[in-house]
């Protein structure tokens, strides 16, 4: 099936309309049917563009954890489907006040106002070329955590900066030699607080498939430290996969 045929097929499914047929009834004239299709497709495209036009790293949505989103067995967010997400393959920090300090591999995300930032790196397999990647931050309440913990104080403003695909941190990464920013403009600040999950980015995985994708998270008003953990109660930043 060609790309055009696939798109038409998806549009027909989404609009609930079949291909034009020949009818003697004027209600189903080509003109009126075309107008109806155009109206439904315009509505569908308006919804699609709202997500598709979001730049990588831009906050797409914020949602509080609801009873429907909670894993009934653990009482924690149930978003991480086994085999369909990536845990950060490398975490490290950089410091503006100590620009030549290399922190090396870390297990914690650490942030201090206008100084310490954390870099998270994901290896995206080439086999995920056809998938959609969702970058999301899970922030349960302290009472929901069993194998992790965090400290948090401040106003909760965070900034996400994406690096060029394939440009990722290592044991020698410092503030002065950090990976180069990607081609997108700075992203707006995101307010994060306990009890919420945050979608940071949704986009096609082929952009970084077969290589590493990394980004820096910083803050200007918050002290935050957490142990990245995907066990009973996920906390931290993850990349998950989905398919249309």
pLDDT at position 214 is 95
Q: What is the mean pLDDT of the chain?
A: 77
Cα dihedral 32, 35, 37, 41 in deg (nearest 10) = -170
Is the model more confident about 229 or about 67? 229
Lowest mean pLDDT among 27-36, 61-70, 83-92: 27-36
The answer to whether residue 69 scores a pLDDT higher than 70 is: no
- Estimate to the nearest angstrom the gap between the alpha carbon of 190 and the chain centroid: 13
Please name the helix (run of DSSP H) or strand (run of DSSP E) that holds residue 203, with its range, or none.
strand 196-204
pLDDT at position 39 is 41
Alpha helices in the chain (DSSP H): 3-15, 30-52
d(CA 171, CA 93): 10
pLDDT at position 77 is 62
pTM greater than 0.75 (yes/no): no
Domain boundaries, the chain: 3-51, 55-242
pLDDT at position 216 is 96
pLDDT at position 42 is 40
The mean pLDDT of 50-68, rounded to a whole number, is 44
Kindly report, residue by residue over 75-116, the tens digit of the pLDDT.
666 568 899 999 999 999 999 999 999 999 999 999 999 999
Kindly report, residue by residue over 149-200, the tens digit of the pLDDT.
999 999 999 999 999 999 999 999 999 999 998 887 767 789 999 988 888 8
Is the model more confident about 76 or about 128? 128
């Amino acid at each position: 099936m060609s790309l055009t045929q696939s798109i038409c097929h998806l549009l027909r499914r989404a609009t609930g309309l079949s291909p034009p047929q020949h009818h003697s009834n004027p209600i189903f004239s080509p003109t009126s049917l075309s107008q109806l299709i155009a109206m439904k497709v315009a509505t569908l495209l308006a919804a699609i563009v709202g997500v598709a036009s979001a730049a990588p790293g831009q906050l797409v949505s914020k949602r509080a954890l609801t009873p429907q989103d909670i894993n009934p067995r653990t009482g924690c967010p149930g978003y991480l489907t086994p085999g369909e997400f990536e845990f950060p393959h490398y975490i490290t920090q950089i410091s503006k006040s100590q620009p030549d300090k290399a922190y090396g591999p870390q297990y914690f995300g650490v942030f201090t106002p206008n100084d310490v930032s954390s870099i998270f790196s994901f290896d995206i397999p080439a086999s995920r070329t056809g998938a959609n990647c969702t970058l999301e931050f899970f922030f349960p309440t302290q009472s929901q955590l069993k194998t992790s913990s965090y400290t948090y104080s401040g106003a909760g403003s965070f900034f996400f900066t994406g690096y060029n695909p394939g440009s990722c941190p290592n044991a020698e990464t410092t503030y002065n030699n950090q990976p180069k920013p990607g081609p997108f403009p700075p992203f707006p600040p995101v307010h994060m607080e306990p009890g919420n999950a945050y979608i940071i980015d949704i986009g096609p995985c082929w952009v970084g498939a077969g290589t590493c994708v990394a980004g820096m998270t910083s803050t200007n008003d918050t002290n935050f430290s957490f142990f990245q953990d995907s066990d009973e109660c996920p906390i931290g930043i993850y990349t998950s996969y989905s398919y249309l």
